[in-house]
Structure 1
Amino acid sequence: MSRFVDTMVATAASANDRGMTTGEPTAPTRRTWADVHEKARRMAGALVAGGVARGDSVAVLAGDPASIAPAVQAVWLSGGSITMLHQPTPRTDLAEWAADTLRVLAMIGAELVLLGNPFDALSAVLDENGVSYRKLDELDGDPLPAPVEVDESATALLQLTSGSTADPKAVRITHGNLWSNAKAMEEAAKLDPETDRMVSWLPLFHDMGMVGFLTVPMLFGIDLVKVTPVDFLARPTLWPDLISRYQGTITAAPNFAYAIAARRMGGVEDGTWDLSRLRIALNGAEPIDPTAVKAFTDAGARFGMPAECVLCAYGMAETTLGVAFAPVFTGMAVDHVDPDELEAGRRAVPVEPGPGARSFPLLGPPLPGLEIQVVDESGAVRGEREVGQLRVRGEAVTPGYLTVDGPRDTQDADGWLDTGDEGYVVDGQVVVCGRRKDVIIMGGRNIYPTDIERAATSVEGVRAGNAVAVRLDAGSRRERFAVVVESKLAGEDDAVKELTKQISARVVDAVGLRPFTVVVLKPGSLPKTPSGKLRRSAATALVPA
């Protein structure tokens, strides 16, 4: 039997009045986890009656958390697996989206899509392409008497990765993976259903949103306030407003969102919010900028937010979600290292903080049940503060990917997964330097793009979180790099010329090297994954030859 499903069912019966609030800011609606479960049982009854069987793959295309929560639980009760499809945006070419979606559905073997608000209108696109679907608001039947039994090795979640939608890949998360990682995060974050309340706007097609801020609270019976990314982007101050009004204790977001929130909070009067109950503001899913984190904690201090609430984390879909969490309520700890030793010597030699130092947040020890190892290119284990390839092993690690070319294993003979990241370990805590494929090699030095990007975004006029450093002539003796940024100044020749000059100077100050070119684009131009991460490799095409 699945420990995950057993616990979810037991929680529904014992969570009392705890549940989820959706519909903010216009029409807040509260449902207990028991309410969600009862609706899920009826939906599961309809799914089974309609032919869904143990092991079937079911895709979901919906944006309303109130509809998604019972739907995903219904699929699990039916013995199936869930895939949250990437959602089209107003700028999406629907013909391309349909082609990409058909490719994904074929890859995961899904024959059914559960379609819900606000994407009901896409039913015509699905009809045109012969895709079977059922609308969530019409999915109702006799309650399923008991969950369909599955074992721990059964697939629970097929998490689409944040790569190109034209070349999709799904991480296969088993019931055992999901249970192991959820329990590890519960322990590391010291979750308490009696006192905690989670607040989130994260997308449910991303692992942090789906696992961390829907599955985990539903599994353990923790109060949840859930809005959508569209709500956050339309009014970023809605986020701290909800934390204040609902007395939220736990939230999470990628680094760029904290940078946006810090700026918007600066224009709000003292005393508007009470953020004093916040004990975890998890920062993960993309490189963490200590400057952005400090701006956020400084802005939050006016509303009683303790700086200690910041929790820097390392995670990936391949471990279900979490890999390492910094210790709870200790705030951000930063490791300052010598840049020359880091880039040429592959060692993280500590130095005093200063303009020339490289600064990396400490991401905490591995979660319970996981091991992390640093190795060189030959696979030899590296020591303390020696930089190398990060790999991870444990019960939460996926057994494999689904790709358009068929299944692919993720683990070596000893169970290790190559994360694709470079980093080191210090005092038992993980430090991530950057993605191995993005490292820029010049003059025997390994330059991490994040250092260049932070320098670029520190220039007034560059949009926060919208700068990429890309490799040019990668792997050649004349490897170079370019910086591509977004700015509202794009198109104003004199302003762009001055902005380019400032970016180059700031980058030289940061890494001692001058970019081959700086490209300034209008907002919305940089290529991003469906979950909002910048795509460095795709940005290379934006650099003039």
Structure 2
Amino acid sequence: MTELIPTPTYDDLPRRLSDFGTLGEALDYAASGKRGLNFHDARGKLARVYPFSELREDALKTAYRLLAMGIGKEDRIALVAETGTEFAALFFGCIYAGAWPVPLPLPTSFGGKESYIDQLSVQLKSCDPKMFIYPPELEEMAGAAAAQNNVKAMDWVSIAQMDAQAVDLPTADPQEICYLQYSSGSTRFPHGVAVTHHAVLNNLSAHSHGMEVQDSDRCVSWLPWYHDMGLVGCFLSVVANQVSTDYMKTEEFARRPLAWLDIISSADGTVISYSPTFGYDICARRISSQSHVADRFSLDKWRLAGNGADMIRPDVMQNFVDAFGDAGFKATSFLPSYGLAEATLAVSIMPPGEGIKVELVAESELSGQAVTTDKPEKYRAVVNCGKAAKDMTIEIRGNNGEILADKIIGKVWCHGPSLMREYFRDEESTKACLVDGWLDTGDMGYMSNGYIFIVGRAKDMIIINGKNYWPQDIEWAVEQLPGFKSGDIAAFSITAQNGDEMPAILVQCRTTDQAERARLREQIREKVRSVMGMSCVVEMVPPRTLPRTSSGKLSRAKARSMYLSGDIIPYAIAA
């Protein structure tokens, strides 16, 4: 068998940094060079080389097929976003045909068959697609969801086998909507973020400028393509900025996370690779039982180790440095950032080389008082998420809309060309967060010397006796106990019988022993009391009970609603 050779890092084609009118134009240009996409198997071995030229050829054929099937401009085409050549060609095929691709999740983020069908059905109802296209192995579940919504469904192998007669393609306008991206809101009331060609290309330009993309750079990613950081940051961005990229599937990363680092180690050139905090955490934990990391990994070429999508934990990042420093990893490679789908993706990016910078903030100051950087008696470590991305403006506002000074915590608002057009067919929700061209992100933070610090989500805040607590901190305290992991715990506030607010914690418990459940519950209570200084309600619930958003994140708001309505039934534990 002939050994596969990945697409090159270097190319004679002059690099253009997302200065195109439409995504179709971006792929047209990238296809004139030699770079492209490279797909690796579970062990990190190269399995498929896919130059941008081949992607464009396949995408054009797909567009011709879609047009022959009656697909027209602005029709929504729902696509299961599996990392691979099929989805890539379908996504850009929709773009060339003037339709709006709508990436939908894989079943790996959900508890079971019925839960996944339900999730697909909700999103299909929301985006009202002309067609739903999926991998053949998901035919039963995808077909069931499509039938519930009377949507025409086909597997993508059948699409690829159709004749493709070349026809004239519709002309795209930069101000037209390009695709719909589902944000990390409630899975019961999903928000389809409508993004224009101009918005996405502006944001992709912000990526390349903020990261100071070099000729020696290539990207490595395991992030899912149904999430904005994976789709925009590690798929669309590499096309619009002509960066060769190496992929492994998200589910393969979950099974063999260190293969991610193997791919980085073997990369030709400098590497840009992103991950939420948990990705770094799982690698540091997995390597802790091994030695001689320098014999296996070569991470000195990892130029930018991006971090985003969730709250950045400085202790986790330090553990990663400790685990892989001998393999050449540098702490200054960390690149914290902040973004959300409603802004296409990036809102702020740390200047390369500055690494992770932390300020210690007194818990008492999270209610809106002045921030101090002197270590207080009780404090939170808040990570610097960088400066506003190119063409983006950030403001911190108080409850009455007033702009707050540096080091005062308030709501994070942003303004720029890459903001979404709207939530698809949801005028009320659009008006609630888009005001006079500004986006209310729903996040809380503060500015300091031009840098943004994010402290949490406003809607998730737990307020007890006038003090603000972030559920992430409570969940983190429980995760430090043996046997618990990220995603097993949901913290939110409830009203006690005396009318006071108090935290409730739902914990997915795998043991069937009643006495062990009772012991674990008490252990959790004591841990939260010692770390947070407060009492709480702890309920043990069955595995796979806690609800997830469309991108696989924990949905605390939905967990709270299901708990209070009785839809989540805790285990009965004797007092």
Question: How big is the shift at 1:483?
Answer: 2.6
Q: Which residue of 2 aligns with 1:60?
A: 79
- 1:282 paired to 2:303: no
Task: Name the CA distance, whole Å, in 1 between partners of 2:179 and 2:431.
Answer: 16
Q: Which residue of 1 aligns with 2:370?
A: 347
Q: Which residue of 2 aligns with 1:526?
A: 546
Aligned residue for 1:346, secondary structure, equals coil
Stretch of structure 1 that moved more, 279-288 or 386-395: 279-288
- 1:317 paired to 2:336: no
Task: Name the CA distance, whole Å, in 2 between partners of 1:475 and 1:212.
Answer: 47
Query: What's the TM-score once normalised by structure 1's chain length?
Result: 0.91
Q: Which residue of 1 aligns with 2:555?
A: 535
TM alignment of 1:75-86, pairs within 5 A: 75-86=94-105
Of 381, 400, 403, which aligns to 2:403?
381
- 1:138 paired to 2:162: no
Question: How big is the shift at 1:518?
Answer: 2.6
Task: Name the CA distance, whole Å, in 1 between partners of 2:569 and 2:39.
Answer: 45
Stretch of structure 1 that moved more, 243-252 or 496-505: 496-505
Question: How big is the shift at 1:244?
Answer: 1.6
1:154 counterpart letter in structure 2: E
Of 50, 62, 81, which aligns to 1:31?
50
Q: Which residue of 2 aligns with 1:167?
A: 189
1:160 counterpart letter in structure 2: Y
Task: Name the CA distance, whole Å, in 2 between partners of 1:18 and 1:412.
Answer: 36
Task: Name the CA distance, whole Å, in 2 between partners of 1:67 and 1:3.
Answer: 21
Q: Which residue of 1 aligns with 2:39?
A: 21
1:329 counterpart letter in structure 2: G
Stretch of structure 1 that moved more, 453-462 or 494-503: 494-503
Task: Name the CA distance, whole Å, in 2 between partners of 1:495 and 1:301.
Answer: 39
Q: Which residue of 2 aligns with 1:114?
A: 133
Question: How big is the shift at 1:405?
Answer: 7.8
Q: Which residue of 1 aligns with 2:424?
A: 402
Q: Which residue of 1 aligns with 2:62?
A: 43
Q: Which residue of 1 aligns with 2:10?
A: none
Question: How big is the shift at 1:291?
Answer: 1.3
1:450–1:125 CA distance, 2 compared to 1 (3 A)? closer
Task: Name the CA distance, whole Å, in 1 between partners of 2:441 and 2:497.
Answer: 21
Q: Which residue of 2 aligns with 1:298?
A: 322
Aligned residue for 1:364, secondary structure, equals strand
TM alignment of 1:49-448, pairs within 5 A: 49-89=68-108, 94=113, 97-98=116-117, 100-122=119-141, 124-125=143-144, 128-129=147-148, 130-140=150-160, 141-142=163-164, 144=166, 147-192=169-214, 194-247=215-268, 249-270=271-292, 271-343=295-367, 345-352=368-375, 356-403=378-425, 408-409=430-431, 412-448=434-470
* Residues 475, 489 of structure 2: 8 Å contact kept: yes
Equivalent pairs: percent with the same residue?
26
Question: How big is the shift at 1:293?
Answer: 1.3
Q: Could you list the runs of 5+ residues in structure 2 that have no partner in the other structure?
A: 1-19
- 1:4 paired to 2:23: yes
1:109–1:513 CA distance, 2 compared to 1 (3 A)? same
Aligned residue for 2:500, secondary structure, equals coil
Q: Could you list the runs of 5+ residues in structure 1 that have no partner in the other structure?
A: none
Query: What's the TM-score once normalised by structure 2's chain length?
Result: 0.86
Task: Name the CA distance, whole Å, in 2 between partners of 1:111 and 1:388.
Answer: 42
Task: Name the CA distance, whole Å, in 2 between partners of 1:258 and 1:144.
Answer: 46
CA RMSD of aligned residues (A): 2.8
Aligned residue for 1:302, secondary structure, equals helix
Question: How big is the shift at 1:38?
Answer: 1.0
1:51 counterpart letter in structure 2: G
TM alignment of 1:409-488, pairs within 5 A: 409=431, 412-473=434-495, 477-486=499-508
Aligned residue for 1:159, secondary structure, equals strand
Aligned residue for 1:119, secondary structure, equals helix
Question: How big is the shift at 1:508?
Answer: 3.3
Aligned residue for 1:363, secondary structure, equals strand
1:71 counterpart letter in structure 2: L
Question: How big is the shift at 1:220?
Answer: 1.8
Task: Name the CA distance, whole Å, in 2 between partners of 1:19 and 1:99.
Answer: 32
Task: Name the CA distance, whole Å, in 2 between partners of 1:381 and 1:302.
Answer: 46
Q: Which residue of 2 aligns with 1:512?
A: 533
1:165–1:482 CA distance, 2 compared to 1 (3 A)? closer
Question: How big is the shift at 1:108?
Answer: 2.1
Equivalent pairs, count? 539
1:362–1:64 CA distance, 2 compared to 1 (3 A)? closer
Question: How big is the shift at 1:249?
Answer: 0.8
Task: Name the CA distance, whole Å, in 2 between partners of 1:99 and 1:378.
Answer: 39
Question: How big is the shift at 1:395?
Answer: 0.4
* Residues 41, 74 of structure 1: 8 Å contact kept: yes
Question: How big is the shift at 1:174?
Answer: 0.9
Task: Name the CA distance, whole Å, in 2 between partners of 1:537 and 1:124.
Answer: 29
* Residues 451, 510 of structure 1: 8 Å contact kept: no
* Residues 110, 552 of structure 2: 8 Å contact kept: no
Task: Name the CA distance, whole Å, in 2 between partners of 1:95 and 1:523.
Answer: 15
Question: How big is the shift at 1:212?
Answer: 0.9
1:412–1:532 CA distance, 2 compared to 1 (3 A)? closer
Question: How big is the shift at 1:320?
Answer: 0.4
* Residues 183, 551 of structure 2: 8 Å contact kept: no
- The C-alpha deviation readout for 1:123-164, integer Å capped at 9, x for no partner, is 643674442133322334446566531212211121112233
Aligned residue for 1:168, secondary structure, equals coil
Aligned residue for 1:377, secondary structure, equals coil
1:502–1:406 CA distance, 2 compared to 1 (3 A)? closer
Stretch of structure 1 that moved more, 222-231 or 101-110: 101-110
* Residues 161, 171 of structure 1: 8 Å contact kept: yes
Task: Name the CA distance, whole Å, in 2 between partners of 1:524 and 1:126.
Answer: 21
Task: Name the CA distance, whole Å, in 1 between partners of 2:319 and 2:377.
Answer: 18
* Residues 23, 95 of structure 2: 8 Å contact kept: no
* Residues 484, 543 of structure 1: 8 Å contact kept: no
Stretch of structure 1 that moved more, 368-377 or 260-269: 260-269
1:8 counterpart letter in structure 2: L
